[in-house]
Amino acid sequence: MAVITAKKEISSKSFSRWFLGHLLANPLNLVLIFVGTSVSILIRMLIPVFLGQALDQAIIDQQNLRTNNEQLVILRDFVFLIFFLGILRFIVGIVTSIANEWLSWTSQKRIREEFFNSIQNKPLKFHDSVRTGELMALATNDLSQVGGLISPGFSMMADVFISITIAAFLVLTLLNAPQLLIMSIPFFIVYLWTIFSYNKKMAPISHTFMRKWSAIATAVQDNITGAEVVRAFAEESYERKKFMEYVLDFRDTWYKRQILQARYFPTLILFATTGTAVLVGSVLILRGELTIGTLIGFTGILFTLIGPTYIISFAVMLYNGGLAGARRIYTMEMKEIGEDVSENNSSSIGNIQGKIVFKNVSFQYPASKGPILDNISFSVAPGQMIAIVGPTGSGKSSLTKLLLRLYDYSGEILIDDVNIQKFPLESLRKSIGLIEQDIYLFPRSIRKNIAFGARDADEAKIIQAAKLAQAHEFITEFPKGYDSYVGEGGSQLSGGQRQRVALARTFLTDPRILILDDSTSSVDSKTEEEIVKAINAVSQGRTTFIITHRLSQIRRADCVIVIKGNKIVAKGHHSKLISQSADYRRIFGKYAVLPPLENRETVENGGGT
Ligand SMILES: Nc1ncnc2c1ncn2[C@@H]1O[C@H](COP(=O)(O)OP(=O)(O)OP(=O)(O)O)[C@@H](O)[C@H]1O
Ligand SMILES: [Mg+2]
């Protein structure tokens, strides 16, 4: 499994820039959240301060022997003030919450969109090395963790730090009690240290947490994709056991995270600060250096810190989870970027003729040990049909993938004498129709699959394409016809049906160059006939590469290329090769079993050379 080791692959600086870029994309929103949170905290702290001042006032009034009526008026004003502050805080709270959620959702949306686009633009070698389950976990779980970090994670964390700043400000100004502030400083150093060290311990656990979640997603993906194989081999119980191992592994990390969270308790420090403040404050009151109201205000402020402190451990968890998720997403986005590196993006492929030249092309997959193709050269005139034959694993499919620039290679590939590196990728790929060996259909209707590359094609065109691809007949036999659902990857269709739907799909996009990686050789003679008809119709007037075991197709080809041991060992027309190439005769002999061949004798006699 591709495990993302974030720290090794990306620099913290570039990650921070990326992440801040997403956050700061809504600066007004951030300001609103900051101001809203600060106002909420200020009101929360003003209430005990005013309470203390009211108490002091009451004491002074008693000493000054004010009338009950006068005292009641002061009390009424105080109640009104508290009431007004309460309402104000309620409104500010709602606005801040909305701003928070808005920021979270817009950031998530933007990152999700960016992630999706980045995955769409990755070269195939990226998909060769990465697990689908992992990508799915990133796009869902990791991303929602990022959302949690932004809201409520950030505001919860910010709450503590803004609270401390405002508290210090109020103690110095409204309460005018610098002694109490100085007394609290050591406690707050320990308080902050606790939070930071907890945060430091939480970071690696959060990363492991996300990784283990991905492992579960990947295991689920394996089982769903391989459902048929698992059942066919009756391996359900083994697969279940393996899956449970991932789940339990995840649970262990979850426990670790919860235990760590439970162990950190900065609230204790807050209680210790309050206790000490009461003690020191009482002495100062007795000495006449502090009023009772000030002490009440101060302890009240400390009490308002209890709430945010209680949730700080949760906030730190959210913060780290989100950061780990963001880092994993960014790391994935940074892998294998920049597929479209056309030397000159402006030159459009336009109306091409379809001449193709391979010049000393060599290629190997990132994962393979040696070359898959070694110094391949050949040329094809516009409209010709080239059959590629060779033993299994000789690189036939790989060769055609290079034409679409699905992988990097050395040497040159030219279309109409222009290096394909100069064409914009999209335009290059749109002019080549690829029917892969393993045909993939989207789990949608047949109609949508046929119209995949030409979404605006009308019904008549879709039916015409299906007819040419010999697909119309079997499609209309389905109860839902063109609306029939094809299943995951096209699993509800037979191989031959899938192939014909793919032919229709390619036909509709009308590419100048066609690549047909045809693996269905063992079909009944009626289907064989239909497929050949379909292929002939689709390849009409296009430069066509056909990788096939079908003798009738090979014979029709203008040129046959024989690949063996990474090299072209023979090329030319079938009639020439059959007499001149021992390699060709060997391969040909193998395929000649079905259907019977007129040259069988020659092949068998010459096969051993
Ligand atoms: N995505 C990949 N990553 C790494 N190696 C690959 C990849 N695809 C194919 N290979 C390897 O490259 C070699 C050539 O594969 P390719 O699919 O081109 O063969 P082929 O000639 O089309 O075979 P077949 O007739 O069985 O379809 C094989 O040895 C295969 O193992
Ligand atoms: Mg192949």
For ligand 1, atom 18: residue with the closest CA: 395
Q: In what order do the strands lie in the sheet with 559-564?
A: 432-435, 513-517, 543-547, 385-389, 559-564, 567-572
Kindly state whether residue 460 falls inside one of the protein's structural domains.
Answer: yes
Return the SS3 of 513.
strand
326 and 446 co-located in one domain? no
What pLDDT is attached to residue 8? 46
Same domain? For 248 and 321 the reply is yes
Task: Write out the H or E segment, with its range, that includes residue 162.
Answer: helix 155-172
476 and 589 fall within a common domain: yes
- Based on the domain organization, do 185 and 266 belong to the same domain? yes
From atom 24 of ligand 1, which residue's Cα is the shortest distance away? 392
- Is 351 inside a domain boundary? no
Ligand 1 atom with least separation from CA of 398:
18
Residue 607 has pLDDT above 50, yes or no: no
Same domain, 303 and 451: no
Kindly state whether residues 123 and 260 are assigned to the same domain. Answer: yes
- Give the whole-angstrom CA distance, residue 582 versus residue 559: 17
* pLDDT score of 268: 87
Residue 566 lies in a domain: yes
Distance CA 490, CA 18 (A): 39
- For residue 530, the one-letter residue type is E
pLDDT, averaged across the chain: 86
Looking at the structure, do residues 156 and 254 belong to the same domain, yes or no? yes
Closest ligand 1 atom number to CA of residue 395: 18
What is the mean predicted confidence (pLDDT) over 88-92? 94
Residues of the domain holding 30 = 14-334
Does residue 568 sit within a domain? yes
pLDDT grade for 589, boundaries at 50, 70 and 90: low
Q: β-strand 356-363 against 410-415: which pairing, if any?
A: antiparallel
Check: CB of residue 352 under 8 Å from CB of residue 430. Answer: no
Ligand 1 atom 17 nearest Cα? 397
Q: Is residue 561 part of a domain?
A: yes
User: Nearest to residue 395, comparing CAs of 428, 435, 355, 368?
Assistant: 368
Residues 6+ apart with CB under 8 A from 573: 557, 558, 559, 560
Q: Please report, for the domain that includes residue 557, its CATH number.
A: 3.40.50.300
Pairing verdict, β 432-435 and 513-517: parallel
Question: Is 474 in the same domain as 565?
Answer: yes
> Cα of 438 to ligand 1 centre, how many Å?
12
Between 263-277, 335-349, 542-556, 564-578, the lowest mean confidence (pLDDT) is in 335-349
Question: Within a domain: residue 374?
Answer: no
Compute, in angstroms, the gap from residue 368 CA to the centroid of ligand 1. Answer: 10
Whether pTM > 0.85 for this model: the answer is no
What digits encode the pLDDT tens for the residues 9-68?
A: 567 889 999 999 988 888 898 899 999 999 999 999 999 998 898 888 888 877 776 677
pLDDT, tens only, 291-330:
999 999 999 999 999 888 888 888 998 999 999 999 999 9
Give, for ligand 1, the residue of 394, 407, 549, 554 to mutate: max count of ligand atoms closer than 8 Å to Cβ. 394
pLDDT band with cut points at 50, 70 and 90 for residue 587? confident
- Per the DSSP assignment, residues forming a β-bridge with 432 are 513
Q: Is residue 5 part of a domain?
A: no
Residue 185: give its domain's CATH number. Answer: 1.20.1560.10
Q: Looking at residue 556, what is its pLDDT? A: 86
Please check whether residues 300 and 185 belong to one and the same domain: yes
Q: Name the DSSP class of 420.
A: G
Of 343 and 72, the one with more pLDDT: 72
In a domain, 9, yes or no: no
Mean pLDDT, range 339-346, rounded to an integer: 55
Probe residue for ligand 1, chosen from 130, 362, 365 as the CB with the greatest number of ligand atoms within 8 Å: 365
**Both 84 and 219 in a single domain?**
yes
Neighbours of ion ligand 2 (CB under 5 A): 397, 437
What are 379-404's pLDDT values in tens digits?
999 999 999 998 888 999 999 999 99
272: pLDDT confidence band, cut at 50, 70 and 90?
Answer: very high
What's 390's DSSP letter? Answer: -
Q: What is the pLDDT of residue 338?
A: 61
Which residue's C-alpha comes closest to atom 14 of ligand 1?
395
CA nearest 498: which of 443, 454, 539?
Answer: 443
Atom of ligand 1 nearest to the CA of 124: 1
Residues 388 and 323 in one domain: no
Q: State the first-to-last Cα distance of the chain, in angstroms, to the nearest integer.
A: 45
Q: How far is the CA of 105 from the centre of ligand 2 (A)?
A: 44
Ligand 1 pocket: which residues have CB below 6 Å? 128, 365, 367-368, 372, 390, 392-398, 437
Q: How many domains does the chain have?
A: 2
Q: For residues 48 and 82, what is the distance between their CA atoms, to the nearest angstrom?
A: 10
446 and 308 within one domain: no
Query: In 3-state terms, what secondary structure has residue 486?
Result: coil
The CA 126 to ligand 1 mean position distance, Å, reads 16
Last residue of a domain, one of 298, 317, 334: 334
